[in-house]
Each structure stands twice: as C-alpha cells, then as structure tokens.
Amino acid sequence: MNRTPEPPMRARVTERAAPTSADVARLAGVSRATVSYVLNDTEAVRISEATRHRVRAAAEELGYVPHAAARSLRAGSTRMVLLPGAHIPLGPLYGRFLAELQWALRRLDYTVVQYGTIGMSGDEAARAWAELRPVAVLSFGEPGLTAHGVEILKRSGARAVVTLGPEPVEGARLLHADQAAIGRCALEHLVERGRRRIGVVVPQEPGLEVFSAPRLAGAREVADRSGVFIEPLPLAYEEEPASLAARRAREIGLDAVFAYNDEYAALLMRALCDEGVGVPGDIAVMGADDLLLGRLQRPRLSTVHLDLVTGEALASLVDTAVRDSSADLGSTTLMTAYAVRRAST
Amino acid sequence: MNRTPEPPMRARVTERAAPTSADVARLAGVSRATVSYVLNDTEAVRISEATRHRVRAAAEELGYVPHAAARSLRAGSTRMVLLPGAHIPLGPLYGRFLAELQWALRRLDYTVVQYGTIGMSGDEAARAWAELRPVAVLSFGEPGLTAHGVEILKRSGARAVVTLGPEPVEGARLLHADQAAIGRCALEHLVERGRRRIGVVVPQEPGLEVFSAPRLAGAREVADRSGVFIEPLPLAYEEEPASLAARRAREIGLDAVFAYNDEYAALLMRALCDEGVGVPGDIAVMGADDLLLGRLQRPRLSTVHLDLVTGEALASLVDTAVRDSSADLGSTTLMTAYAVRRAST
DNA sequence: TTGAAAGCGGTACCAT
DNA sequence: ATGGTACCGCTTTCAA
C-alpha cells in the first residue's frame, strides 16, 4: 500500500529531467554503448540475451525516450521532410492530396515538418529551412525559391529539393503541376461550345495566385490562339462580390465564364441565377477540380477534371530521390487535366 | 570571363559538406566562441566591431547555416510545437483555423511539426513525439492520449500538453471544444420548430468520428430530454449514399435531419429534392459550421454557427503555457455555438 | 576582448 | 560479449 503522502505531482513531473541512455546504462549496470546496441538491435554486435533483457527492463522502468536531435547530430542526417507553407486554405482537392502525402511520408518513416514562412524572402526562408537539415524539401512554389536557395539547402544536406509547380528552379527537380493546362482545357471546351466572350475568375484570396495566375495564363493562351475575347474577373469568396461579378459579366456581355474551380463556380452560378441570367442559356459556367459540389449544382457543373498523382506516389518518388540523389525522377507529371461536360456549358 | 571548364555541379554541391561554426572561425581567424557570440548578438560579451565584421563576412562567404539540432541539444530545449494528426481532410472551417494557428505559432517563433501517427497506439505515439522533445503538444483528441502518455511528454520536456476536445486527459490542459454543444443547439432548434422525428447524419469518412460522435451525443441528449425520436443516419460523402439516406429518411418518416455540417447538409438536401421530398415542408434540414456553401443553397440552409477562437488566440495561449507551465489557462472555451435560422427549417 | 574547453545525448570504432 | 572513448555542432562558463 502506498501510504506515503502524495508527492507534489507537478514537481515530480517537471523537475525530474528526461532520462538519458547513461541513466539506463547505470541502472542496468552496463555501458552506454551496450544500451545503444540493445535498443537499436545493432546487428554487427552480439549481446547476451540476459543483458538485453536487463537493458530493456531498465529503459522501460525509467521511461527512457531517445533524443532525436542528439541522434541525428551524431548520424549527420535527419529523416525530416519539409513542406513549406501550406498555410493557405487550399481547396478540398489539394487538401486531401496533402493529407495523403503526409500520411505516405510517415509510412516511409519520414518526419513531416510544416514550416510556415511569413514575410520571409525566398532566401531567408531557405536559410531557415536549412537550419533543420531536412533530407528533403517540397516546395509548392509559393515563396520564391531561387537557385541560391536551393544550393543552400543542398549544401546543408537536403538530398532532394522538389518544386511542384509550373516554373523550374535551377538545381531543384521539378514535378510538373501544369496549372496552365487547366485553363487551356477549360477554354478549349468553351470555345468548342461556341462561346466567344469569356470571363475568367481570379480569386482574391491571398495565396491562391500560385494557382490562379497560371490558370488564367493558360486560358489567355487559348483565347489568343482562337481569337476569342477574354476578361479577368477578380472575385473574393463572398456573396456580395459574387453578385457584383455577376452583374459585371452581364454588362460586358460575356457568354461564358471559367470560374477558377468548382467552389467559385458554384458561388458565381448562384449569383448569376439571382440576377436572372440563364445558365447555360445566357452564360455558360465552367469550374475545375471536379468536386462533388459541382455535381450538386443545378444545372450540373461542367468542370475540368484533374487526375492528381496520389500522395503515395509522390512520397515514394521523394523517397527514391533521397536514397539516390542522382536518380532520375523523369519528367514526372503530377496531374493531367481534361474537360468534363455536364449541363452548365 | 569564366573560361575555365564547368566544375561538376553536383559534386561541388553534394560533396562539400555544410560549413560549421569552426569553419567560419578558421576563415575569420577567431575562435568558435567568438563566432557564436557575434552571430547570436550575445549581450553579455563585448566584441570589437572589426571582429564582428570579419566573422559576419566569413559566415556570409561560406554560406554558414547554424545546425538547429546541435543548438537545441546544447540548449536543452527546442521551440517545437507538435500538432499530431491533422491528416484527415477537415472541413474548411477547421482547415482555416489550423492554417491560422500554424501561422500564428510561426510568428511567435515556434517551429510547427505535424506528426502523423498511423496505426500507433496512444502511448507509442506519445513516445514518438517525445523523441523530438517538443516544447508543446497540441492534440486534437484523435489518438488516445493517456495520462501515461502525457507524463512521458512532460518528462521529455514538453511544457504544455494541450488537448482540444471534449474529454479531459489527466495531466493535460483541456481546451474545451464542445462538439456536443453543436448537436444540442441543432436539436433544440429543430424541436422548437416543432419537429419530432429527427435524423442525425453520421459521416462515414474515417477520422471524423472525433467530431461526429459528440455531435450525435449532444443531439441525443436533447432528444431524450424532450422525448423526441432520434435516428442516426450513416452517410458517406457521395451522391449514391446520399440518395439512399434520403430514401431512408422518408421511409422511416423523419420530419427533420441534422446533417453534421453544411457540406453534408447540402449533399443530403440535393438528394431529398431529387426524391421529391420538400424542404422544409416535408423534412427540415439543418447544417453546422455556417459555411458560405450553406447560404448558397435553396432554400438557404439553417445552420449552427460556430464562433471559433482565432488561431492567434490559441497560439498565444500556448505561448503563455510554455513560458510559465504553471500558468492558469482557465477554462478557456474554444468555441461557442448558436443556431442560425434560415429557410431550410 | 577573446580563447580554451567542457559538455548536451547518442553512436560506432577499437580494445579488451 | 562488453566497455572505453572520440566524436557530431553549438553554447557558455572561466581564464587570460
């Protein structure tokens, strides 16, 4: 029976520092080396079953937890994968992709670190990342990662620096996420349907330019090629701006809108309806990302479907690059896009 | 002109290891101590301007980046905040909240680490987290964090272990995110509107039980109290299951559904319409989270509005706890919920 | 004003 | 089969 007075809980917990391998060694009556061998199941060395057991028991009793920083300091490398940014609320599609990616990286025994870089320049950010000595860095293109930044990272031990995005950065591998293709798809579809005056929604939410700019650029490319009128339509994700945009679309006589993605498309379609504009009669509306949301609209939303590579695939690609940094990732394409016609165009 | 042959780029980058403070010291012709003093602007010691300059220049020239692990090993503590899980695609509301929180923590100079814990038990997870010696751990309640897990974390240097969720864990501070209140709100509203046979949508997406279970429980609580019939309605976020659920709702004669959140509500409402069920005439539908999406529905969706504490507020709370682990966080309430009636009830 | 040196917690080589 | 020990990179007394 424990009849001694309750020890002060917080003190017990706070004051007693974390046990080290030396503590375990002392309790088990062996050396720190032996502790390390046992706890890591080092093959190259034979430890008697009796000793192993004593060490394990001691570690258990003390609640020993190895110190990751000490280990990686000694090892000279980490298993850390840095995902910069990702602090903008991405759509469900990318949200899911990112979740999947993290999950897959964990499975491959990497530690995923999200490192936000507010108001840092590209090179400051790269420096900050490099302090953590990550073994791989995945940049989604937001902060201007320069060739210099990439070299800093590589010098600090990053065996893979991968940018997902449209523009390559010298020294980094590029996984091509061709956002422009989405804009091209959408516009090709609309032109094919006979539309000649087309608006392109540009979300005003900060952080989305990475996606919206190339989508617009792709759209413009096709428009220019086909001699079709195109007009950017800035739009914040709120009802009021949406009615304004809807009114504007009517005023300048658009006959179609590519609405960045299905969410903005749903918003705009609602506003158009409320303005008495017929969809697709007066104005066709096209989304992108092929979200469930789009299928829920009436009329059902035409969209650009994206076949994204799975997070698992990307994770294993990163893993390959880490294991052999000269490995050729090929011109891995992150996604393919194609138009899906439903009722809104 | 650079007419020397191109040096082999990869070799140059890969082979030359990251410079250490010793390299900087050597180049500047000073000791490692001095380098540390200069680069950290140590107040307690005065270094001549000339030396400072030499050191800075040397560091710059070598592209020196301090080694975070070495530093924190020496310092005995990190600035790492662990956010376990977060690998389920949360709704836009929590997504935004999480993004905000990370952003705010960064601003307070913490490093945010997302640590996924697939298939680990609560204590295994706690051990894995503890290896990183985080200064704070925020658990959203997913993996069973036990009293023992909390002690492991605290022993390993965590100065704040915070769970956001309904159930307290011994030793951890609890920030009350009363999901059950959402269910209560919704049901109180529906009962008030005269509904007596109420379905409650339970999303089938894995990882959402943390939210859905207490929402259901809160709903049930009110139902029992008011003598109202209540029926859980499992629902996967797809069109087909939605029609099934809609049909079922009609068959068992429900006159209202609390649909977990606005997204599921929109899905279900569409299915009900397609089945020829009038909303709110035949069946009232209530969402939650007060997303823009809900206002886009016709009829406009009644919902439970959540006033979430800002990520910034939570971050500063964590910061307080870290600086003074005995500080009283009070019974900080993470959110308050109230019903918003629109047209669907 | 600066330098020498002792660690922080592990790992791995070399002895024993 | 084990133990001693030299590092990994950085900070911080203590001396000079």
| A231's tokens | 């007009």
Asked whether the predicted pLDDT for residue A270 surpasses 90, the reply is yes
List protein-proximal bases of chain C (any atom < 7 A from a CB): 1-5, 7-14
Specify which residue's alpha carbon is closest to the C1' of nucleotide C11: A74
**pLDDT, position B263:** 96
DSSP letter for each residue of B169-215 = -TTSEEEE--HHHHHHHHHHHHHHTT--EEEEEEE-STT-HHHHHHH
User: Rounded distance, CA A269 to CA A186, Å?
Assistant: 16
Instruction: Indicate the pLDDT class of residue B175, thresholds 50, 70 and 90.
Output: confident
β-bridge pairing B136-139 and B303-308: unpaired
**pLDDT, position A325:** 77
User: Rounded distance, CA B280 to CA A39, Å?
Assistant: 63
Contact, B157 CB vs strand D, < 7 Å: no
Instruction: Indicate the pLDDT class of residue A1, thresholds 50, 70 and 90.
Output: very low
SS3 per-residue string spanning chain A:
CCCCCCCCHHHHHHHCCCCCHHHHHHHHCCCHHHHHHHHHCCCCCCCCHHHHHHHHHHHHHHCCCCCHHHHHHHHCCCCEEEEECCCCCCCHHHHHHHHHHHHHHHHCCCEEEEECCCCCCHHHHHHHHHHCCCCEEEECCCCCCCHHHHHHHHHCCCCEEEEEECCCCCCCEEEECCHHHHHHHHHHHHHHCCCCEEEEEEECCCCCHHHHHHHHHHHHHHHHHHCCEEEEEEECCCHHHHHHHHHHHHHCCCCEEECCCHHHHHHHHHHHHHCCCCCCCCCEEECCCCCHHHHCCCCCCEEEEEEECCHHHHHHHHHHHHHCCCCCCCCCECEEEEEECCCCC
In eight-state DSSP terms, residue B23 is H
* CA-wise closest residue to B261 among B205, B330, B221, B220: B205
Q: Calculate the alpha carbon distances from A27 to A53, A100, A166 in Å.
A: 12, 43, 57
**pLDDT, position A87:** 62
Tokens 């207490």 belong to: B214
Interface test with B, best of A78, A156, A159 (most B CBs within 10 A): A156
| B185's tokens | 């709100």
**pLDDT, position B164:** 83
User: Mean pLDDT over all residues of chain A?
Assistant: 89
User: pLDDT: is A299 or A174 the higher one?
Assistant: A299
Helix ranges restricted to H, chain B: 9-15, 21-28, 32-39, 49-62, 68-75, 92-107, 122-131, 147-155, 179-192, 209-226, 239-251, 262-274, 292-296, 311-323
Mean pLDDT of B318-342: 85
**Dihedral sign computed on CA atoms, order B142, B144, B147, B152:** negative
pLDDT tens-place string over residues A181-200: 999 999 999 999 999 999 99
Instruction: Indicate the pLDDT class of residue A127, thresholds 50, 70 and 90.
Output: very high
Asked whether the predicted pLDDT for residue B7 surpasses 70, the reply is no
Distance from CA of B12 to the nearest CA of A (A): 9
Instruction: Indicate the pLDDT class of residue B177, thresholds 50, 70 and 90.
Output: confident
**pLDDT, position A12:** 41
The answer to whether B141 and B164 are in contact (CB under 8 A) is: yes
Instruction: Indicate the pLDDT class of residue B87, thresholds 50, 70 and 90.
Output: low
pLDDT tens-place string over residues A142-168: 667 889 999 999 999 999 999 887 778
Provide, as residue numbers in chain A, all residues whose Cβ is less than 8 Å from the Cβ of B238: 292
CA A133, C1' C9: Å apart?
A: 18
Q: Calculate the alpha carbon distances from A77 to A70, A83, B43, B62 in Å.
A: 11, 17, 32, 20
pLDDT tens-place string over residues B101-132: 988 999 999 999 988 777 788 889 999 999 99
**pLDDT, position A332:** 72
**pLDDT, position A7:** 34
**pLDDT, position B3:** 30
Asked whether the predicted pLDDT for residue A11 surpasses 50, the reply is no
What residues contact B125, with CB distance under 8 A and at least 6 apart?
A: B84, B117, B143, B145, B149
The answer to whether B329 and B321 are in contact (CB under 8 A) is: yes
A 49-78 residues with CB < 8 A to B: 63, 65-70, 72-73, 78
State the nucleotide closest to A34 in CA–C1' terms. D2
CB burial of residue A214 (10 Å; 0-12, 13-18, 19+): buried
The answer to whether the Cβ–Cβ distance between A114 and B118 falls below 8 Å is no
User: Rounded distance, CA A317 to CA A163, Å?
Assistant: 13
Give the nearest partner residue to A73 out of B69, B87, B239, using CB atoms. Answer: B69
Contact, A156 CB vs strand D, < 7 Å: no
A151 has a chain B CB within 8 A of its CB: yes
Asked whether the predicted pLDDT for residue A5 surpasses 60, the reply is no
B 285-314 residues with CB < 8 A to A: 292-293, 295-296
* CA-wise closest residue to B113 among B87, B134, B82: B82
User: pLDDT: is A94 or A212 the higher one?
Assistant: A212
Mean pLDDT of A15-29: 91
Provide, as residue numbers in chain B, all residues whose Cβ is less than 8 Å from the Cβ of A18: 130, 133, 155-157
User: Rounded distance, CA A41 to CA B104, Å?
Assistant: 41
Interface test with A, best of B106, B129, B153 (most A CBs within 10 A): B106
Query: At CA A128, angle to CA A122 and CA A133, rounded to 5?
Result: 120
SS3 B312: helix
**pLDDT, position A6:** 31
Phi-psi region of A260 (alpha: psi -120 to 50; beta: other; left: phi over 0): left
| pLDDT > 90 in chain B, percent | 70
**pLDDT, position B208:** 86
The answer to whether B34 and B47 are in contact (CB under 8 A) is: yes
A46 has a chain B CB within 8 A of its CB: no
**pLDDT, position B174:** 81
User: Rounded distance, CA B335 to CA A327, Å?
Assistant: 49
Instruction: Indicate the pLDDT class of residue B6, thresholds 50, 70 and 90.
Output: very low
| pLDDT > 70 in chain B, percent | 92
CA B29, C1' C3: Å apart?
A: 12
The answer to whether A226 and A190 are in contact (CB under 8 A) is: no
Asked whether the predicted pLDDT for residue A10 surpasses 70, the reply is no
Phi-psi region of B165 (alpha: psi -120 to 50; beta: other; left: phi over 0): left
Mean pLDDT of A256-279: 97
Asked whether the predicted pLDDT for residue B328 surpasses 80, the reply is no
Asked whether the predicted pLDDT for residue A13 surpasses 70, the reply is no
Mean pLDDT of A173-187: 91
* CA-wise closest residue to A139 among A102, A182, A95, A173: A173
pLDDT tens-place string over residues A249-267: 999 999 999 999 999 999 9
Tokens 């658009």 belong to: A254
Which residues in range 73-132 of chain A are in contact with strand D, contact meaning CB within 7 A of any of its atoms?
73-74, 76
**pLDDT, position A342:** 97
pLDDT tens-place string over residues A23-69: 999 999 999 999 999 999 998 888 999 999 999 999 999 999 999 99
pLDDT tens-place string over residues B130-158: 999 999 999 886 667 889 999 999 999 99
Provide, as residue numbers in chain B, all residues whose Cβ is less than 8 Å from the Cβ of A342: none
pTM: 0.88
A187 has a chain B CB within 8 A of its CB: no
pLDDT tens-place string over residues B276-306: 999 999 999 999 999 999 999 999 999 999 9
Residue B200's φ and ψ, nearest 5 degrees, are -125, 115
Contact, A33 CB vs strand C, < 7 Å: yes
**pLDDT, position B9:** 35
Provide, as residue numbers in chain A, all residues whose Cβ is less than 8 Å from the Cβ of B18: 130, 133, 155-157
The answer to whether A130 and A108 are in contact (CB under 8 A) is: no
* CA-wise closest residue to A13 among B192, B325, B36: B325
Asked whether the predicted pLDDT for residue A137 surpasses 80, the reply is yes
CB atoms within 10 A of CB A146: 17
User: Rounded distance, CA A11 to CA B51, Å?
Assistant: 45
What residues contact B231, with CB distance under 8 A and at least 6 apart?
A: B197, B198, B199, B200, B252, B254
Instruction: Indicate the pLDDT class of residue A96, thresholds 50, 70 and 90.
Output: confident
Provide, as residue numbers in chain A, all residues whose Cβ is less than 8 Å from the Cβ of B78: 69
**pLDDT, position B16:** 72
User: Rounded distance, CA B184 to CA A168, Å?
Assistant: 52
